[in-house]
Copies of this chain bind each other. A is one copy, B any other.
Amino acid sequence: MYTRVLSKPDGRALRLYSRRPIPETIVSPPSTPQGAPANSHMRWHPLRREWVAYAQHRQDRTFLPPPDHNPLAPSDDPKRPSELPVGDYDVAVFDNLFPTFSENATAHPPEIVDTRPGKGACEVVVFTQDPSQSLGRLPLSHIELILEVWGDRYDDLGRRPDVQYVMPFENRGVEVGVTLHHPHGQIYAYPFVPPVPATELAAQLEYQRQHRCGLLEHLFAEEIKDGRRTLYVSDEAIAVVPVCARYAYEVWIAPRRAASSFADVTPAERAEIARALKTVLLKFDRLWDKPFPYVMVVHQAPTDGSAHPEAHLHIEFYPPYRMRDRLKYIAGSELGAGAFTADTLPEAKAAELRAVEVSLE
């Protein structure tokens, strides 16, 4: 992997990644869209015991711009300003113009609950220069590069004292609120370990203490033995509709070994995770022969300074459809109780996805 770090005129970082050496001639675009000054703060929710982030400057962020004004398509034409320069590279990462968390966030006046500056980082990961592509249709070597980029960002952001948790994710499709259709994901670097990974890590820690074995290592072994819900299995990686799927087409992808992050995987594991990922993404799009919307999140070890031998890297997909053209709404029971109710069995949805044939080459 080749890397170059540039600085945007407004001071934001721009990182280029490539499978080939990156030409020295590439410079940051001359002008970028103007964002409102980013200064978020967090408030403590005493009843749910979690932090809520307030980022007022995000209210007027870019919303589905016309195709001729795509800020993620490389441009050197001052009349078509872009976040990305023209040139030979594969993947670009830059500081979000509308960040929820940023290194420079300052203190907010006192409220009746605890407040803290919204420190941390929000980055945009542009998967490819080609607006017509998608993560799943990229070549395997390109997907591997993206996983390596996630590892680089985990290392780099995780080293910052204000960052305790690094989460890459992709929102895909208008159904989950996507405002730019150019293939891209995001990375949130939180100044705390958020509730969902905290719960998962506590479960993994307890399991490991009781069983001298990883919770996910055990679960994946059981899924492979059961065999009805696996979508991809190799010595290094697995893709599965988990037995306890909350979303109809929920899928988990992980290394078989309890690697803690994308900075901790071997090249062989990375290659196999890329194959599992491409398999799932192609099956999703083939299922109804249209782009399949989803929220994809990456769970890794916290970067809070403690050791986390319990953390097992995994990707979770939460697709919003429960059947063709019928959304699963997250409503009363899910939002108010935290209790998911599924209309379909994981075995049945896995069977549908298993039946979709795809070719990785």
Contacts and interface: CB of A to CB of B under 8 A. Distances in A.
A340 B52 contact: yes
Given A100-B333, A197-B337, A297-B336, 17 more contacts: A46-B203, A46-B215, A47-B244, A49-B199, A50-B338, A50-B339, A51-B339, A54-B344, A59-B343, A170-B332, A171-B332, A188-B339, A195-B337, A318-B335, A318-B336, A330-B330, A330-B335
A68 B330 CA distance: 28
Contacts of A245: 52
Interface in A164-180: 165, 167, 169-171, 176-177
B343 A55 contact: yes
A265 to B, nearest CB: 20
A86 interface: no
A85 B355 CA distance: 47
A200 interface: yes
A331 interface: yes
A332 B179 CA distance: 13
Nearest to A40: B341
B337 A194 contact: yes
Q: Which of A56, A200, A337 has the most CB of B within 10 A?
A: A337
A307 interface: no
Interface in A4-62: 43-56, 58-59
Interface string A312-335: 000010100011001101111101
Interface residues of A, number: 80
A154 B132 CA distance: 54
Q: Which of A45, A50, A341 has the most CB of B within 10 A?
A: A341
A54 B327 CA distance: 16
Contacts of A100: 333, 341
A152 interface: no
